[in-house]
Structure 1
Amino acid sequence: MNQAANQSFDVEIRDVVYLDKAGAPLEARMYLPRGEGPFPLIVEIHGGAWCRGSRLDEHTLNEALAKRGIAVAAIDFTMPPAASYPASLCDINFAMRWVKSTAAQWRTRPELVGLLGVSSGGHQAIVTAMRSRDPLFAVEPLPLALAQTDAGLNADIDARAAFVVACWPVIDPLGRYLYAKALQSSGKPYPPAIDRVIPDQEKYWLTEDAMAEGSPAIALERGEPFDMPPVLYLQGEDDIVHPRAQLERFVTAWQRAGGNLTLRLYANEAESFITKQLDSAGTANAIADIGDFVLQQTETILAASLS
């Protein structure tokens, strides 16, 4: 992978259907570096407070990563009003297994597949990684044609991630909901996003109990057993939509549990800076940090496979 780290790749971009749910196809936009590989592959989960957005949202980020030799599968998933929690997490869990079962098509390997998510997508990336074999999410079986390869049946393929990149995740949905409600009740000025995220959270989660059940920060504090792949956690220092105190709670709990987590904070950057401030120094640094992290994790995995 040293070659990939120092090379700019041409990129093939195409859309494929990864899951057809009762005639409602879900697509992935594939960003594929041209070359032999094996390349790491990121399943990318867009933001939008669980209710808005599409696989096209992070095009600039995904294309930049592919040019560094990192394949990306940017996915659509089920959102309200079609279905609420946990429908999207079931789709994401399936997408991870789908990518692994078709890894050779994307010039990757199953053990090189990780997750990247933005805001609510960052939350879903962390949950998917932590609870990769949870029967609440692993409900869609792989089609037999994908579950069987030259090596035999792969029905045991799961959604475990090699690594996770979490860009300003909503790391505690219940805590963020209560925080947003308090900001709103205190009166303006507050970020316009607050007026959007409150109804979106209510549409997706339906109840505060569900927000707590699906909270990575609360789960860690309860001491529940989870998968803990290496994590890169990014956030702007001026972000007040994703409370800093909740970030610090999660980072402390993850590290206390023995997890490997790298935190990157970017000065003078607010929420969603990578996707909104495309020309800022913080965005350029963050995209470089993401690429460096993924390629480093890939080198470590490939080196271990040879030892």
Structure 2
Amino acid sequence: MISARKYLIQREIEAGTGAEIGLSVDDSGLFSAMRIWFSDLDERHGPVADLRPHGLRGHRVTLGFGNFAGATVAQIAKASQEDVALARALVASIPEGVDLDLGDHQDIANWQVSDGSFKLVAIIRHPEGTDPDTAITRTCREVIVPIMAAMAELIGYDVVEENTVEPVYEGEILESVVRRRERNPRNRLLCIRIHGEKCMVCGLEPKLIYGEGPGSIIEVHHLDALSLQAEPRSYDPAIDLVPLCPNCHRAVHTRRPVPLPIDELKAMLGRAT
């Protein structure tokens, strides 16, 4: 039952979106369902995902907006082009096997939230024999997380910066932007969905060695030295972000202010082996 996996669902979605999630269980029907929202907005004032069983081995996820979400929709309308592009890319990263319906006059490349009537429906089917925990985890990672991450990006949820021992050098006026983008779980999510969880330099796939939990240590690296640019610019996670293992990520940042190019680090690694 979906209700029995409440904390699994919450953990998966919070890890992928970088936002605190609220949930409620609906046991009024034959099968339990769950409503999911951003906890600081509550389910009346923001986007809400409704998760229900579908058929024998599937789930149906419906995203809509609460009855009093006008202020949130207005805030979404002010999202930057970069945020809109990232939100669309997150939804587009949902696997092709998932049935996705964005409603009339909306398509996967150019959808937008123009008012509170916006609705997105996704149906995912699981292979026969899939155990319930695996099925709900797959639904979260392949459907709910990218949908809610897209909403988080449009609304403007930022990532809380942790204290770092790395110095901020004079002249690196946008280093905080680089750190925020590299640490943003939504950027990480999209980077991994595009490139996989294999280090672009050494080829390490942590999950193959450490398993699902400890193996989730792959990091993302911004290829351009945004910290040296006079003004922010839009970027494309598909070409500007790459996955690196912690060792290689640390290695590229040993050169300052411009990090080592990926190809140069690969050449160093080749000479050392």
- TM-score class, shorter-chain normalisation, is under 0.3
State TM-score, norm by structure 2. Answer: 0.26
State TM-score, norm by structure 1. Answer: 0.24
